């Protein structure tokens, strides 16, 4: 019985510690973004890695999400004779929910895992310590460009996801199932408002910060993981944790953000 | 604190879980001198260096560099102190996704405002000093162990630091390569005049470079003596260490 309480206490302390560390990590990272010097090249490089290299997977998943929405939407709406609303149904689902969430999940899988592994390897091979000893702030040098790149990339990737999704929905709903092209777009123009786009934008920005925060901090503190965060195994388990925690947090935050923004 | 001691460790204790590694380390590093820390594997020699670098916080005790206690100063002050440091890590800790040139140029690019031409001149000069010129475009993974150490040394010295830390600079290298590293080390120290702290297993060779030798044993520094005093010490632990590592011939009075 005593052992159980001991374990519970140790677990609680460990998780509190970890949460505190992640909070401090976010604070220093955001602080280092606003602190000079400002170097543009690392930001461009990271935007390329996180954003540009994710475009293909975003277009691919965006198109198929839109196509399945077109397919499901058309069949459901046709039961009520409301096929004309397909355009607005696809667009609203994508712009308000699916675009930001699925784009963020894709970026987590593609870039988030890479960020965690990269920083984790730098940590275990003492490269982060080396930076500190050279009086170079690792937050400024490694983390800040990734945060800025995440904040720039996510809204743009979400926009690409939304557009390809809408075109995917058009391809199925109009091209394959014979819906009316004019109605598809006119219902969209009529029903999509700026507040919907604003909601998608806010979500994608928040997810951008969330992904980089979780993935980078999991890599940065890999050496402090319980059960020995050492070597390749330590980095691989930190990467898995980062991707799982990031994905779960995206869905969780999505709900809270929606309830605040609605 | 003595005027000449730029680093002072006072009763440093550090545990990891239930294992107490440092049990009250006292050590002073004298300005302009070379202090070598020796001792068995796993005794915590590298940990001592990490305390001086401010990478590890002691459980108790004080680590003073330039009279400032590292765990009581701000991040900014710690960063200012670290501008005096040059560190060669045990595994060199080169940035593996950067070329040799970019590795050595990094401190110049991040900490100074000099032009790229000037950076190139300094980097090439340091690489030449370490006898690794011509490796500019290679990545650390394409270098041998000895070359990595020398590139690490070039990076550590690129900003002409006042205190240089070498964590096992010759471990894993053959005798010829170790000698090369020592030659480079002795040449650069004469030229740049830095204070150095070396963690090494390479006894007795390392004694030729040392002004002071400190033996870490069972979590405490037994003593910090000149190499001659160290070899002739009456302390049973030091005596035992000298005999084990150097053989009785070195500890005899016949040694020149």
* pLDDT number for residue A227: 66
CA angle A18-A24-A28, nearest 5°?
145
* pLDDT number for residue B242: 87
Across residues A2-23, what is the average pLDDT? 90
Residue B247 scores a pLDDT above 80: no
Question: Where does the pLDDT of residue A209 fall: very low under 50, low under 70, confident under 90, or very high at 90 and above?
Answer: very high
Question: Where does the pLDDT of residue B248 fall: very low under 50, low under 70, confident under 90, or very high at 90 and above?
Answer: low
Q: Judge if the upstream peptide bond of residue A37 is cis by omega within 30 degrees of 0.
A: yes
pLDDT in tens, B214-243: 999 999 999 899 999 988 888 899 888 888
Q: Which residue from A minimizes the CA distance to B52?
A: A133
CB–CB contacts below 8 A, A to B: 53
Contacts of B91 (CB under 8 A, 6+ apart): A125, A126
pLDDT in tens, B18-41: 888 999 999 999 998 999 999 888
CA angle A146-A159-A213, nearest 5°?
25
* pLDDT number for residue B78: 92
DSSP H stretches of helix in B158-255: 175-192, 227-231, 236-246, 248-251
Shortest distance, CA B182 to any CA of chain A (angstroms) = 22
* pLDDT number for residue B188: 82
Ranking A130-134, A246-250, B181-185, B248-252 by mean pLDDT, the lowest is B248-252
* pLDDT number for residue A169: 95
Is residue A189 included in any domain, yes or no? Answer: yes
| CA–CA distance, A105 with A216 (Å, rounded to integer) | 16
Q: What is the CATH number of domain B34-56+68-211+226-251?
A: 3.40.50.300
Ranking A43-57, A95-109, B80-94, B236-250 by mean pLDDT, the lowest is B236-250
What value of ipTM does the predicted structure carry? Answer: 0.86
| CA–CA distance, A145 with A142 (Å, rounded to integer) | 7
Across residues A196-218, what is the average pLDDT? 96
Is residue A90 included in any domain, yes or no? Answer: yes
Residue B134 scores a pLDDT above 90: no
Q: Which of residues 53-72 of A touch B (CB under 8 A)?
A: none
Is residue A94 included in any domain, yes or no? Answer: yes
* pLDDT number for residue A44: 97
* pLDDT number for residue A37: 84
The answer to whether the CB atoms of A126 and B95 lie below 8 A apart is no
Q: Which of A105, A62, A111 is nearest to A253 (CA)?
A: A105
Question: Where does the pLDDT of residue A139 fall: very low under 50, low under 70, confident under 90, or very high at 90 and above?
Answer: very high
Across residues A48-63, what is the average pLDDT? 96
More confident residue, A69 or B192: A69
Total count of domains within chain A: 1
* pLDDT number for residue A229: 60
Residue A148 scores a pLDDT above 70: yes
Q: What is the mean pLDDT of chain A?
A: 93
Is residue A22 included in any domain, yes or no? Answer: no
Q: What is the CA B195 to chain-centroid distance, rounded?
A: 10
Q: Which residue from A minimizes the CA distance to B82?
A: A135
* pLDDT number for residue A228: 60
Residue A170 scores a pLDDT above 80: yes
Phi, psi of A135 (to 5 degrees): 60, 30
Shortest distance, CA A219 to any CA of chain B (angstroms) = 16
Q: Select the residue from B46, B74, B93 to test the A interface by mutation, using most A Cβ atoms within 10 A.
A: B93
Q: Which of B129, B66, B79 is nearest to A131 (CA)?
A: B79
Residue A95 scores a pLDDT above 60: yes
Across residues A234-256, what is the average pLDDT? 95
Residue B3 scores a pLDDT above 80: no
Q: Which residues of chain B does A137 touch, with a Cβ-Cβ cutoff of 8 Å?
A: 79
pLDDT in tens, B146-164: 889 889 988 998 988 999 9
| CA–CA distance, A252 with A242 (Å, rounded to integer) | 15
Q: What is the CA A146 to chain-centroid distance, rounded?
A: 13
Task: Show the domain range for A86.
Answer: 31-261
Burial of B191 (0-12, 13-18, 19+ CB in 10 A): exposed
* pLDDT number for residue A43: 96
Q: Which residue from A minimizes the CA distance to B165?
A: A133
| CA–CA distance, A12 with A158 (Å, rounded to integer) | 37
**For chain B, percent of residues with pLDDT exceeding 70:** 95
The answer to whether the CB atoms of B106 and A129 lie below 8 A apart is no
Across residues A130-134, what is the average pLDDT? 92
* pLDDT number for residue B185: 82
* pLDDT number for residue B253: 53
| CA–CA distance, B195 with A122 (Å, rounded to integer) | 28
Residue A226 scores a pLDDT above 80: no
Residue B2 scores a pLDDT above 80: no
* pLDDT number for residue B251: 47
Does an H or E element contain A22, and which? helix A2-34
């Amino acid at each position: 019985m005593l052992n159980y309480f001991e374990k519970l206490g140790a677990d609680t302390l460990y998780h509190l510690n970890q949460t505190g560390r992640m909070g401090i990590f976010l604070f220093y990272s955001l602080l280092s973004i606003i602190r000079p010097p400002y170097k543009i090249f690392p930001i461009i490089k990271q935007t390329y890695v996180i954003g540009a290299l994710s475009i293909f997977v975003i277009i691919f998943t965006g198109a198929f999400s839109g196509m399945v929405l077109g397919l499901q939407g058309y069949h459901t709406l046709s039961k009520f004779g409301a096929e004309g609303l397909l355009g607005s149904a696809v667009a609203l689902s994508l712009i308000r929910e699916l675009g930001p969430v699925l784009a963020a999940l894709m970026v987590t899988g593609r870039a988030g895992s890479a960020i965690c592994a990269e920083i984790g390897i730098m940590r275990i091979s003492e490269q982060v310590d080396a930076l500190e000893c050279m009086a170079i702030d690792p937050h400024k040098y490694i983390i800040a460009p990734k945060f800025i790149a995440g904040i720039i990339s996510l809204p743009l990737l979400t926009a690409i996801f939304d557009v390809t999704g809408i075109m995917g929905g058009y391809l199925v709903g109009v091209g394959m199932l014979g819906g009316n092209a004019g109605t598809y777009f006119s219902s969209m123009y009529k029903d999509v408002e700026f507040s919907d786009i604003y909601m998608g934008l806010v979500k994608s920005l928040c997810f951008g910060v969330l992904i980089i925060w979780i993935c980078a901090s999991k890599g940065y503190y890999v050496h402090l993981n319980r059960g020995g965060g050492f070597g390749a195994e330590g980095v691989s388990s930190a990467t898995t944790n980062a991707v799982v925690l990031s994905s779960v947090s995206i869905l969780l935050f999505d709900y809270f953000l929606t309830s605040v923004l609605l | 604190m003595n005027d000449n001691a730029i680093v002072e460790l006072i009763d440093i204790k550090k545990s990891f879980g239930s294992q107490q590694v440092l049990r009250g380390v006292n050590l002073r590093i004298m300005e302009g001198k070379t202090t070598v820390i020796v001792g068995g594997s796993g005794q915590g020699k590298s940990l001592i260096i990490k305390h001086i670098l401010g990478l590890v916080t002691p459980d108790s005790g004080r680590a003073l560099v330039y009279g400032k206690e590292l765990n009581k100063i701000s991040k900014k002050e710690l960063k200012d102190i670290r501008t005096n440091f040059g560190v060669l890590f045990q595994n060199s800790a080169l940035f593996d996704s950067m070329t040799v040139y970019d590795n050595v140029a990094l401190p110049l690019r991040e900490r100074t405002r000099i032009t790229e031409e000037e950076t190139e001149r300094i980097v090439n000069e340091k690489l030449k000093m370490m006898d690794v010129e011509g490796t500019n475009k290679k990545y650390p993974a394409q270098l041998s162990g000895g070359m990595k150490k020398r590139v690490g040394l070039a990076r550590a010295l690129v900003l002409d630091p006042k205190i240089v830390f070498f964590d096992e600079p010759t471990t894993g290298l053959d005798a010829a390569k170790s000698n090369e590293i020592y030659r480079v080390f002795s040449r650069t120290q004469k030229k740049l005049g830095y204070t150095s702290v070396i963690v090494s297993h390479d006894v007795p060779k390392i004694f030729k470079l040392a002004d002071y030798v400190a033996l870490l044993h069972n979590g405490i520094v037994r003593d910090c003596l000149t190499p001659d005093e160290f070899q002739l010490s009456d302390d049973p632990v030091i005596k035992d260490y000298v005999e084990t590592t150097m053989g009785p011939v070195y500890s005899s009075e016949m040694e020149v």
